[in-house]
Each structure stands twice: as C-alpha cells, then as structure tokens.
C-alpha cells in the first residue's frame, strides 16, 4: 500500500515493509471528519482506498463563512505531511468523501522508527522534507497570481511534486 504513494514509492521494498509495521490502518465512513482545522497535527496519512477532501473556511464581507473544498485526495495520495516533522496546527479540515481507508503514520511511531531503524527514519525525514520543500517552491512561484486564502490552499494542495524529487538516501551513500 505504501508503494502506491509517491512519497514512499522510491523506498526499497524491505524499507517499506519495515515502515509498514509502524503505520496504523483507519477506516472512515463518508462524511466522517479525520481532523479539524487548527487541531494539533499528529502525523501524516496515506489514502488506501476511497477519497478525502480537505476543506477550508471562506470568510469575506459579502457572505457568511462557509466551507470550501480545497483539494480531493484519492488512493496513494498523502496529506498531513508537515505534522510528521513537527507540532504544526492543521490548516484545513480533512473529511472522508467516500467510505475511506487510510494509513496513519504518527509522530510517536516515527520517533520509535528512528530509534529502531535510524537509517530508515532518516530516509523518511528526508523524503518528507524533500516533498514539502518541492511543494513549497512550487507554491511560492505560483502565489503571485492568487489573492484568496482558499485559492492559496487549493493551489498548495493541488500542485504536483515532480517525479524523482524524493531521494531517500542522499546522506547515506
């Protein structure tokens, strides 16, 4: 299941197997909230099947606050990556768009992974860091065209990080 995610696809099969022992399967019914905006981030998720929508609130002078879908994530997609590396509050609400199964990889499990498998922990940290850095660079380049907070979120989550961005072993060679 981890091989379907671009974030972990470049890992060796054995490394994905070792990583899989530290993830948790969670099932959500359609409409069930996975986390709310401004919740403390505890880890990242990989969609196994179904879909997740990330929602943001839109406030302006002409209408009441309402939820807007920022991005829809299908099988193999990841969300919540920043939370794996630090205590960041969630920027959006994540909700199951269909009956959905996700793999959760949470910060306490990541710390355990680092202690038990330091090289694999380093690979995960580098992969997530490279993924976030690439997405941030794409977002920064595109922000000049947007002036809406919802549009900024859509832009950030909708950008595709190029293949080959993730190299889990640059410091271990």
Q: What is the chain's pLDDT, residue by residue, as a tens digit (173 residues)?
A: 888 898 998 899 999 999 999 999 999 999 999 999 999 999 999 999 999 999 986 544 444 555 788 899 999 999 999 999 888 899 899 999 999 999 999 999 999 999 999 999 999 999 999 998 888 878 777 775 666 666 666 666 666 666 665 555 543 33
Tell me how crowded residue 60 is: count the other CB atoms within 10 A of its CB: 10
CA angle 52, 56, 58 (to 5 degrees): 150
| Those residues with Cβ within 8 angstroms of residue 147's Cβ, 6 or more apart along the chain or in another chain | none
Task: Report the alpha-carbon distance of residue 115 to residue 75 in Å, rounded.
Answer: 30
List the structure tokens of 28. Answer: 């959500």
Name the β-bridge partners of 79: 45
Instruction: Say if CB 78 and CB 7 are below 8 A apart.
Output: yes
Task: Report the alpha-carbon distance of residue 164 to residue 130 in Å, rounded.
Answer: 10
Whole-structure pTM over 0.85, yes or no? no
């Amino acid at each position: 299941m981890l091989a379907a995610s671009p974030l972990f696809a470049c890992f060796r099969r054995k490394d994905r197997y070792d990583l899989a022992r530290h993830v948790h399967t969670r099932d959500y019914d359609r409409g069930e909230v996975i986390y709310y905006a401004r919740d403390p981030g505890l880890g990242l998720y990989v969609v196994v099947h179904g879909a997740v929508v990330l929602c943001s609130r839109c406030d302006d002078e002409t209408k009441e606050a309402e939820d807007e879908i920022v991005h829809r994530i299908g099988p193999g997609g990841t969300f919540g990556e920043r939370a794996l590396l630090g205590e960041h509050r969630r920027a959006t609400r994540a909700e199951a768009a269909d009956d959905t199964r996700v793999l959760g990889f949470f910060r306490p499990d990541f710390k355990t992974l680092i202690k038990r498998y330091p090289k694999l922990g380093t690979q995960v940290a580098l992969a997530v860091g490279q993924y976030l850095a690439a997405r941030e660079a794409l977002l920064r380049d595109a922000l000049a065209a947007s002036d809406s907070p919802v549009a900024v979120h859509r832009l950030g989550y909708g950008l595709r990080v190029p293949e080959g961005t993730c190299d889990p072993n640059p410091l271990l060679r």
